[in-house]
């Protein structure tokens, strides 16, 4: 009887995603962003029991990615516990608050697709709030990564690599797509009209950093 859990564990795939993400080569937006990464995001673990037991802990790795990307695409970035209204007396007020969450994760393994590739799709919901704590955008963003099977390479290593590749792709979508979200574009235009002087000084500090 004691062997049963051992045998079940031997048939399951456990992955802790361990990717590292580079700095983005991009001009930062001259705003102060607040990033809210709640526990359900930082400790996110995907579990699948269809055909094969797969457990994939990607919370830490995706937190590292979002932290890196928002540090690079904005002139200033702070980590926040929750979305909170910025008052006139708040020192160094935050312009935008970002709350990402995982909507869905899908895997495709070679035994399902008959292709020599492991594929990973991740769907995020990126909620954006203004300094008053009001929602201004709800962006559903999907990312995709794959890796080919290799001789003598474990399923764990392949899934880790495919997920890291999907997270790099999520980074691409955030860097390229964030300021193209219509609501964000409108917000930036509005902000530029309201505070041209403030933007100039923040841009200068962003360039220096």
Cβ contact 188:202 at 8 Å: no
- In the numeric block, the tokens 């200033």 are attached to 76
Q: Which residue lies nearer to another protein by CB, 136 or 175?
A: 175
Q: Is 67 helix (H, G, I), strand (E, B) or coil?
A: helix
Could you say which of 24, 54, 65, 97 contacts another protein (CB under 8 A)? Answer: 24
Taking CB under 8 A as the rule, does residue 160 contact another protein? Answer: no
Which residues make Cβ contacts (< 8 Å) with residue 203, sequence separation at least 6? 30, 75
Q: Which residue lies nearer to another protein by CB, 178 or 187?
A: 178
Taking CB under 8 A as the rule, does residue 117 contact another protein? Answer: yes
Taking CB under 8 A as the rule, does residue 172 contact another protein? Answer: yes
Stretch that binds another protein, among 21-29, 89-97, 183-191, 199-207 (CB under 8 A): 21-29
Rounded to a whole number of angstroms, the minimum distance from the CB of residue 190 to another protein is: 26
CA angle, residues 44, 74, 162, in degrees to nearest 5: 35
Residue 112 CA to residue 104 CA, distance in Å, equals 19
Considering CB under 8 A, how many residues would be counted as binding another protein? Answer: 20
Could you say which of 16, 157, 175, 203 contacts another protein (CB under 8 A)? Answer: 175
Could you say which of 3, 11, 23, 111 contacts another protein (CB under 8 A)? Answer: 23
- In the numeric block, the tokens 């980074």 are attached to 171
Q: Which 53-112 positions form the footprint of another protein (CB under 8 A)? A: none
Helices and strands in the chain: count of H runs, count of E runs: 7, 8
How would you classify residue 92: left for phi > 0, otherwise alpha for psi between -120 and 50, otherwise beta?
left
Taking CB under 8 A as the rule, does residue 153 contact another protein? Answer: no
R_g of the chain computed on alpha carbons: 20
CA angle, residues 76, 80, 82, in degrees to nearest 5: 140
Q: Which residue lies nearer to another protein by CB, 53 or 110?
A: 110
Residue 67 CA to residue 60 CA, distance in Å, equals 11
Taking CB under 8 A as the rule, does residue 148 contact another protein? Answer: yes
Stretch that binds another protein, among 11-19, 32-40, 85-93, 163-171 (CB under 8 A): 163-171
Binding residues vs another protein (CB under 8 A): 21-27, 115-117, 146-148, 168-169, 171-173, 175-176
């Amino acid at each position: 009887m004691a062997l049963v859990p051992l045998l079940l564990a031997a048939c399951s795939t456990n992955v802790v995603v361990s990717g590292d993400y580079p700095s983005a080569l991009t001009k930062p937006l001259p705003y102060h962003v607040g990033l809210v990464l709640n526990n359900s995001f930082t400790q996110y673990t995907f579990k699948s029991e269809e055909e094969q037991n797969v457990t994939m802990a990607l919370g830490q790795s995706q937190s590292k990615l979002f932290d890196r990307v928002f540090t690079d695409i904005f002139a200033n970035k702070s980590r926040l516990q929750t979305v909170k209204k910025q008052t006139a007396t708040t020192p160094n007020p935050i312009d935008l608050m970002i709350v990402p969450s995982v909507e869905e994760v899908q895997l495709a393994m070679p035994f399902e697709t008959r292709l020599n590739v492991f594929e990973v799709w991740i769907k995020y919901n990126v909620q954006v709030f203004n300094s008053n704590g009001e929602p201004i955008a709800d962006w559903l963003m999907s990312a995709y990564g794959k890796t080919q099977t290799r001789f003598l390479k474990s399923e764990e290593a392949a899934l880790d690599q495919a997920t890291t590749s999907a997270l790099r792709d999520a980074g691409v979508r955030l860097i390229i797509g964030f300021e193209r979200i219509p609501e964000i574009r409108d917000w930036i235009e509005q902000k530029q009209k309201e505070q041209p002087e403030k933007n100039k000084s923040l841009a200068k500090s962003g360039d220096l950093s």
